[in-house]
Amino acid sequence: MNDIRVSDATQGAAKSAGRKRLLQWLHQIVFVGPATFFFILIVLIPFFLGVYYSFTDWNGISRNINFIGIENYTHILTKDPDFRNAFWFTVRFTVVGILLTNLLGFVLAYVLTKPIRTRNMMRTIFFMPNMIGGLLLGFIWQFIFIRGFAAVGEATGIGLFNLPWLGDRATSFWGIVIVFVWQTAGYLMVIYISSLNNIPKDVLESAEIDGATRMQVIRHIILPLIMPAVTICLFLAISWAFKMFDLNLALTAGGPFKATESVALDIYNEAFTNNRLGLGTAKAVIFFIIVAIITTIQVRATKSREVEM
């Protein structure tokens, strides 16, 4: 009888464990399944199709798709000066944009965590540009550069406002940088504010009592403690700057004479303007690999400098 009872208890426990596993699977299917399905449908399948098309000469319209191997890649690396010029512009823009955006975002966060009466209103004002779409923002700033600055220059006589901000190679570069920083710094400011608010106040007070200057506090206490936020902000800024497309299209459309054409805009023009989708997707694959390598190195480098509070 005891053996029968033990056997029944074992079977009951096995059935209960089976029901729990079934419920867990059902929960995963119900809550994670739809997101996984759409991720595969919208991200993974187009990605692998793009990799396949990069080895073809498809124009994006014809039903005839011819496999040509690595011919697109060899053409890009050896016979495509437009891609090299676009990549060099994107690298310069990314370096300058990352530095200025993170510097301005941190400065705004540092100032707006002080006991200022209007700090909540100021936070909202600085964050608002991020809420405006890139194309709309680009057209707004195009009007400002062309009409607004010209009117201010005529009224004040200041030569800075009379520069051809979108018509010259050098000034158009800085024009795009100005709009990019103005749009994205507010978002990074919010991340830095959240991290700064988590720093223990007694640590900062102890440093001030010990005679540390403001710059010493920032360098030796604040920056090491907010390094997780720095990791996130650098990653976001790198991603935004490398993938910058809408601002580039709205402000200069890559001009003058492709001097400000980003890699994303070059890929778009190659695939949808020149109707060489195979070559365009090959450029996209190369660009994806480069950005993935850079962001991986950045995340590992900054995470190794993180400290625990």
Give, in order, the Cα–Cα distances in Å from 68 to each of 53, 71, 269, 273.
10, 6, 21, 21
The answer to whether residue 138 is domain-embedded is yes
- What pTM did the predictor assign? 0.87
Q: Report the distance separating Cα 189 and Cα 74, nearest Å.
A: 42
Q: How far apart are CA 281 and CA 275, in angstroms?
A: 11
Domain membership of residue 188 (yes or no) is yes
Report the mean per-residue pLDDT for the chain.
Answer: 89
Q: How far apart are CA 285 and CA 291, in angstroms?
A: 10
Contacts of 56 (CB under 8 A, 6+ apart): 65, 66, 67, 68, 278
17-71 pLDDT, tens digit each? 667 888 888 888 888 888 889 999 999 999 999 999 999 999 988 888 899 999 9
In a domain? residue 58: no
* Tens of pLDDT, residues 156-191: 888 888 888 888 888 999 999 999 999 999 999 999
Predicted pLDDT of residue 271: 92
Q: What is the distance between the alpha carbons of residues 266 and 281, in angstroms, rounded to a whole number?
A: 11
Residue matched to tokens 């919010």 = 190
Residue partners of 205: CB distance under 8 A and separation at least 6? none
Q: What is the pLDDT of residue 14?
A: 61
- Running DSSP on this structure, what letter comes out for residue 187? H
Q: Domain total for the chain?
A: 1
Q: Give the pLDDT confidence score for residue 11 in this predicted structure.
A: 61
Is the per-residue pLDDT at 97 higher than 70? yes
Task: Reply yes or no on whether the pLDDT at 9 is more than 80.
Answer: no
End-to-end CA distance of the chain: 60
User: For residue 138, is pLDDT > 60?
Assistant: yes
pLDDT at 307: 66
**So what's the pLDDT on residue 170?**
86
In a domain, 196, yes or no: yes
- 124, 179, 168, 186: which is closest to 260 by C-alpha? 168
Q: What is the DSSP letter of 185?
A: H
Q: Decide if 22 is inside a domain.
A: no
Q: What is the CATH number of the domain that holds 268?
A: 1.10.3720.10
Distance CA 120, CA 291 (A): 35
Residue 34 lies in a domain: no
Residue 294 and residue 296: Cα distance in Å, rounded? 5
pLDDT tens by residue, 283-296:
999 999 999 999 99
Q: Does residue 71 sit within a domain?
A: no
* Residue positions counted in the chain: 309
The average pLDDT across 105-126 equals: 92
Asked if 94 contacts 242 with a C-beta cutoff of 8 angstroms, the reply is yes
In a domain, 31, yes or no: no
* pLDDT tens profile 268-282: 999 999 999 999 999
Q: How far apart are CA 302 and CA 199, in angstroms?
A: 18
pLDDT tens digit sequence for 187-221: 999 999 999 999 888 888 888 888 888 888 888 88
pLDDT in tens, 227-261: 999 999 999 999 999 999 999 999 999 988 889 99
Over residues 80-96, the mean pLDDT reads: 94
pLDDT at residue 208, rounded to an integer:
82
Phi, psi for 56 (deg, rounded to 5):
-125, 175
The residues, ordered by sequence, that sit 6+ positions from 243 with a Cβ below 8 Å of its Cβ are 264, 291
pLDDT at 30: 83
Domain that holds residue 128: 78-303
The answer to whether 54 touches 284, Cβ cutoff 8 Å, is yes
